Amino acid sequence: MVIAIISVLVGLLLAAVQKVRGAAARMQCQNQLRQLALALHSVESGRGILPPGTRSLFQRDIRPFTGWTLEILPQLEQEALYREAQAAFRVTPMPFFAPHPIATVVRSFACPMDPRVLKAHFSQTSQIDVALTSYLGVSGTITTQKDGVLYLDSRTTFGSITDGLSQTLMLGERPPSADLRFGWWYAGFGQQLTGSADIVLGVREPNLQPIVSGSPCGPGNYPFKPGWFDNPCSMFHYWSPHSGGANFAFADGSVQFLTYDANSVMPQLATRAGGEVATLP
């Protein structure tokens, strides 16, 4: 009887400890997203424009496939890493030939509840070590529509966000894909045929891979819903390892934990000038 009572008490204690740890991790993620949002504000203040969500190969730029994550490194006290990356791009325009920057873990991009992002991993597809990110730029409803804040070759100013900075999503949580092919912080190609890198994502992203690679995931648009580290289909939508929802940074720099009940208003929150009125549940 005494042993049974002790077992119950130990179980309750462990559950309480896990709950406290989960709350602390969620708060740390919120603080990191706030730091990233403020870094973007600093860039916009200095340049008069936000960095592109990501760059295409076809722009007259020597840093294809990079974007907002690289451009805010100086604001994250990663000036040395930024300079090293800049030097590497003067040698070759391809980010995959800069082995040290692409494999450097930036803690500000790493959710503490995902152990995978706390170290670099060997990429079977590119045959190099790569570091990962838990946070992506919100490109709008669908990446190719370019109706959000950070998207392919975007040139967004805060003045162009007419839906209101406090009503427009800028960054959100999405852990790297199950096979770690998607979710590199430094650069990435993203889905085939979309022309987007994986440092940005829409809130209703379609899966175009069945067209070219026989993906096991359905082709429909993916909503804001729970995901899992080992589920290959979770890469197509925002989610987090936190219970019940995910953290998002708005364009005004504020950060909110949105529950999955907010799925119905995500398209309205994701556009910068759609004229919609969104009310969170």
Per-residue pLDDT tens over the stretch 131-175: 999 999 999 999 889 999 999 899 999 999 999 999 999 999 999
At residue 41 the predicted structure's pLDDT band, cuts being 50, 70 and 90, is: very high
Tell me how many degrees the CA angle 61-67-73 measures, rounded to the nearest 5: 110
At residue 193 the predicted structure's pLDDT band, cuts being 50, 70 and 90, is: very low
Domain that holds residue 263: 2-270
The pLDDT of residue 86 is 87
- Nearest CA-CA partner of 57 in 161, 159, 153, 192: 153
Across the chain, what does the average pLDDT equal?
Answer: 87
277, part of any domain: no
Q: Are 133 and 187 in contact (CB under 8 A)?
A: no
Q: Are 101 and 87 in contact (CB under 8 A)?
A: no
How much of the chain exceeds pLDDT 70, in percent?
Answer: 84
Selection from 60-74, 180-194, 220-234 with the highest mean pLDDT:
220-234
The pLDDT of residue 187 is 74
279, part of any domain: no
242, part of any domain: yes
The pLDDT of residue 196 is 38
| Beta strand extents in the chain (DSSP E only) | 121-123, 128-130, 135-140, 169-173, 200-202, 245-250, 255-259
Instruction: Report pTM.
Output: 0.89
- Whether the per-residue pLDDT at 40 is higher than 90: the answer is yes
The strand pairing partners of 246, in sequence order, are 258
The strand pairing partners of 129, in sequence order, are 122
43, part of any domain: yes
**What total number of domains does the chain contain?**
1
d(CA 192, CA 207) in angstroms, rounded, equals 9
